[in-house]
Amino acid sequence: MTASSASRTARVQRETSESSIDLSIDLDGTGVSDIETSVPFYDHLLTAFAKHSLTDLTVRARGDIEIDVHHTVEDVGIVLGQAIKQALGDKRGISRYGDALVPLDEALAQAVVDISGRPFLVHTGEPAGFEFHLIGGHFTGSMVRHVFEAIAFNAGLTVHVTVLGGRDPHHIAEAEFKAFARAFRLAKALDPLVSGVPSTKGAL
Ligand SMILES: [Mn+2]
């Protein structure tokens, strides 16, 4: 079966003492999303990811946010990564590489994605103190990198995200997610000129 005729969808459910998650994706969607993580700013970021990567995404997550949003946010990132890996299947016919440069007013973020099968994250450029800022009063800036780690490591992606400018933490975080989304959109796209798996090794 070729990738162009296979359904690139996945549903992953994960239950731990810290969170309960049910997530569905369609890599060949139109960016329709229905997301309730109980962490409002994270819903905002995941909605942007879906919209700008043309991935249909449904997420229902409940977790111990009375302690901190950390577990719920990280665990949704893990499950999203697992779902991406599952939906990509054997990776036949994909473009493999994608890159994007996305502004949000004064913020500017660059992302590069390689659907390599080799988990790696290089993440630089957030301004000093960004990691300590509570965006929306509940979402710690440090979680932006943590989510990219969770996605990259569980999906088997090489991801480079560079913040090139920005002052407002909301703008910076959103620009990072949109840049990642646009880069992922290009990388997962099916390229009609690619036959088989785009690797000299024959596997990704
Ligand atoms: Mn953690």
Distance CA 77, CA 134 (A): 19
CATH code matching the domain that covers 2-188, chosen among 3.90.226.10, 3.30.230.10, 3.30.470.10, 3.30.230.40? 3.30.230.40
* Average confidence (pLDDT) over 16-37: 98
Residue 8 has pLDDT above 50, yes or no: yes
Q: Mean of the per-residue pLDDT values for the chain?
A: 96
Residue 5 has pLDDT above 80, yes or no: no
Residue 1 has pLDDT above 50, yes or no: no
- pLDDT (tens digit per residue) in 77-89: 999 999 999 999 9
CA of 141 to the centre of ligand 1 (A): 13
CA of 18 to the centre of ligand 1 (A): 12
What does the domain layout of the chain look like in residue ranges? Answer: 2-188
Helix axes of 40-53 and 70-88: crossing angle, nearest 10 degrees = 20
Q: Which of 9, 3, 54, 5 is nearest to 186 (CA)?
A: 54
CA of 70 to the centre of ligand 1 (A): 6
Helices and strands counted in the chain (H then E): 4, 10
Q: pLDDT band for 70, please (50, 70, 90 cuts).
A: very high
At residue 6, the pLDDT reads 76
